[in-house]
Amino acid sequence: MAVMKANLQSLDIGDTFLTKYEIRGLIGRGGQATVYRCHDTFIDREVAIKIMVDSFETKREHSRRAQMEARVLCKLHHPNIVHVYDAGATDAGAIYIIMELLKGRTLRDVLRDLQNLTLYETLSIGAQIADAVEVAHGEQVIHRDLKPENVFIVEGNRVKVLDFGIAKFLALTGITTQRDTLQGTMWYISPEHVQGHGVTARSDIYALGSILYESISGTPPCLVGLQEISTPAVAWSQINRVPPLLDELIPSVPGHVARLIQRMLVKEPSERPSSMAEVGEALRSSCARLQSESAG
């Protein structure tokens, strides 16, 4: 029997959602959504269900945005993007997305345990992220919140990019987050985003560069040498401070890797790589070069 609870943010183990999804546990809860681990009793498989909740926006506007997120996510078919099986709205108007259940851990969890990754691991993971986000860019979607928490590592160091919940849909003006509203985690957002100049595909490239820099050095580039870690200080750093090249911090980092990541972190968007496709190709080329030099 379908659960009739008014508050879908607090479903309990054993409750049933939409007549066939048995709640098995809570995966996570954020400001705009709650994600549950569920069992599809009809076809006998484990799934994750993301249920959108009302936020600071009006209920009507939030529902429209949640619907557009669900529609776009269902179009994003790529091995490095979490697969969406279905989406819809309950009779009460709550938007839900039914997704594959992932087994592994986030890149943030990995970095918390190991502090940093090897060069080859970093470049390989970065290329997979670039491939996934390039597909989104092809659908006129900017992620806006790339960070280690939204990169999921499954078996074999395969990547799944998560949470397009605050993505900006370029072709759908008026249905997305308000223009120039500051969203995302401050450590990874681009200077133009901090300044309210809007975001482009190259803003995601800046975020990926920050992730790669941290994965190698153990510290996000905006925090290197920063004496005070506060929102104003980090914002100022993102706009004004150029981080040292990685090969200056870690002499064992090859110059071609350091220069590639530094180019992704340039303050002026037009001077960054032109697309995630270009970034992915460059990262794979650097991987191949590392392997060749190691073999030699």
Q: Which residues are catalytic?
A: 145
Q: What is the DSSP string of 218-271?
A: SS-GGGTT-S--SHHHHHHHHHHPPPPPHHHH-TTS-HHHHHHHHHHT-SSGGG
Looking at the chain, how many residues does it have? 296
Q: Under a CB-based contact definition with an 8 Å cutoff, are residues 2 and 23 in contact?
A: no
DSSP assignments along 47-83, one per residue: EEEEEE---SS-HHHHHHHHHHHHHHHHH---TTBPP
Q: 84 phi and psi, to 5 degrees?
A: -105, 125
Q: Tokens representing 173?
A: 């003006």
* Count of beta carbons in the 10 Å neighbourhood of residue 129: 28
Mutual angle of helices 276-295 and 255-264, in 10-degree steps: 170
Give the integer Cα–Cα distance in Å for 14 and 12: 6
Can you tell me the distance from the alpha carbon of 202 to that of 274, in angstroms, rounded to the nearest whole number? 7
Could you tell me if 136 and 142 are in contact, meaning their C-beta atoms sit under 8 angstroms apart? Answer: yes
In angstroms, rounded to a whole number, what is the distance separating the alpha carbons of residues 165 and 159?
A: 18
